[in-house]
Structures are given as C-alpha cells and as structure tokens.
C-alpha cells in the first residue's frame, strides 16, 4: 500500500488536480487505488448547485492518475518526464459519483512499449461499476 506521501513523490499532480488518495495494491501490470470524494471538492460549487456530482472527466482523470502512478513507479528519472493522454476509447459512465463516495480505481496494462501505453480502467463505488474506459498515453520529456 502507498499513502499520499509516496503518491506525491511519484506523480507530478498537485491540489486541486491530484485525484488519488491511496494506492491499495500494485503489480507491474495492475493497480488498485482510491479516491475519497468529499463535498469540499472545488468542482462541486458549480457541478451542480443543489445536486453535486463529480464530473465524469475527473473520474476518467483519476483512473489515468492511478495508471500513471503504476507507469511512473518503474521509471528512474520520472522527475524529467510527464505522461500525456493521447486517447480515450469506449468510455462509459454508468452511475454518478457523489460526495461521500469512495471510488476504487482498477487499472490494467493492455499494451506497453517504451514511451506509449494502452490501459483499461474501471471505477467502482461500493463494488458497482460507475465508469470504464480504455486510456492511451505517451511519456514525454518535461521541459
């Protein structure tokens, strides 16, 4: 298990855009992470007043950050790299994510080459699928 200190050491993301709170388990090809959703998230002010819903694109971003943690964990000079999204395929939103939910992010490597990867991500709340997508990424030099 990895806590927030290790996540901050690996990922370049910071508040308000760091969207994973803990990594529960990880192998070379899979990762399970958690995003605890609180009513204090800045996006709830406008999405939507009186009916707060976590934006779907941020659920996808949380899956991508979990995958990025897994990919970055094996890179020695990660402080000189960034991982960019290059594509999202087959994305489906099944249920809304609400304040108080704990989102479990499950991401697995489909293909991985030196600088590109294709991952499959799933987001679950209380064991129910809320979102899934294929995520493509490319690692680039940070400038």
- Active-site positions read 47
CA atoms within a 13 Å half-sphere pointing along the CA-CB vector of 88: 18
Q: Is residue 80 helix, strand or coil?
A: helix
Q: Give CA–CA dist 142/79, Å, rounded.
A: 8
96 CB burial (10 A radius; 0-12, 13-18, 19+):
middle
């Amino acid at each position: 298990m990895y806590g927030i200190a290790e996540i901050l050491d690996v990922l370049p993301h910071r508040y308000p855009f760091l969207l994973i709170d803990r990594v529960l388990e990880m192998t070379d090809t899979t990762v399970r992470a958690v995003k605890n959703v609180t009513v204090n998230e800045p996006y709830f002010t406008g999405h939507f007043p009186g009916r707060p819903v976590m934006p779907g694109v941020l659920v996808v971003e949380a899956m991508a950050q979990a995958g990025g943690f897994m990919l970055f964990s094996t890179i020695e000079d990660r402080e000189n790299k960034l991982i960019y999204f290059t594509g999202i395929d087959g994305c489906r939103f099944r249920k809304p994510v609400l304040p108080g939910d704990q989102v479990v992010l499950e991401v697995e490597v489909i293909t991985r080459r030196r600088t590109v990867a294709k991952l499959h991500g799933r987001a679950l709340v209380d064991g129910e699928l809320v979102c899934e997508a294929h995520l493509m990424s490319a690692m680039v030099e940070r400038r």
